[in-house]
Amino acid sequence: MSALSELNEEVGHCQRCEIAKYRTKAVPGEGPEDAEIMFIGEAPGWHEDQQGRPFVGPAGQYLEQLLAFIDLKREQVYIANVIKCRPAANRDPLPAEIQNCCQWLERQIEIIRPKMIVTLGRYSMAMFFPGKSISKIHGTAQKRDGVIYYAMYHPAAALHQQSLRQAIEADMLKIPALLAEAKNMAEVEPQPQQLSMFED
């Protein structure tokens, strides 16, 4: 079994948070272990909890459409979330849940070593762009330690608001050039990930 499959199996047994008791399935993430690009959402919703797979409901269908704009299929990218269990009634993740769960994401990133990390929505943005506001930094990238970090709105938010929809679609179209740049950047010794919750 690969390191990532082992890790994702461990996620399935995690009981660190109260919400673990109520999940149907944990949703570790999915995609190739050597994905060049990783998309990180917020938390599983109802559909994801049922299937144990990320972004398989309406937000996921929209994410797939967005990926198609840049000739990518979901099977080519790694898709994960900040927290791996569905919060009751799709409420926002609690700080303690993010704190308990972020070690899984850190370890996924260490194994996959993506060249580009795309944050979807403000919870995942807050982990990589501490103190920033999504309305200001969406569509902008930061290079750190050989990786390009790029912030986008959450597809679920963009589905329901026309102005965000235009923004997320325009932001998606910037990814191929950034990814090409990321692939040309010098290999850097991987740095241990130390994610935590940052308020914006």
Q: Which residues bind ligand URA (CB under 6 A)?
A: 41-45, 48, 54-55, 57, 59-60, 81, 156
| Shorter beta-carbon distance to ligand URA: residue 60 or 114 | 60
Instruction: Tell me how far apart the alpha carbons of residues 121 and 118 are, in angstroms, rounded to a whole number.
Output: 10
Q: Which two tokens stand for residue 180?
A: 């090409």
Instruction: Tell me how far apart the alpha carbons of residues 120 and 103 are, in angstroms, rounded to a whole number.
Output: 19
| Shorter beta-carbon distance to ligand URA: residue 100 or 124 | 124
| Shorter beta-carbon distance to ligand URA: residue 44 or 114 | 44
Give the nearest distance from C-beta 54 to ligand URA in angstroms.
Answer: 4
Alpha helix segments (H runs only) across 83-161 = 95-112, 122-128, 134-137, 155-160
| Shorter beta-carbon distance to ligand URA: residue 48 or 97 | 48
Name residue 81's beta-bridge partners.
41
Give the nearest distance from C-beta 48 to ligand URA in angstroms.
Answer: 4
Give the nearest distance from C-beta 181 to ligand URA in angstroms.
Answer: 26
71: left (phi over 0), alpha (psi -120 to 50) or beta: left
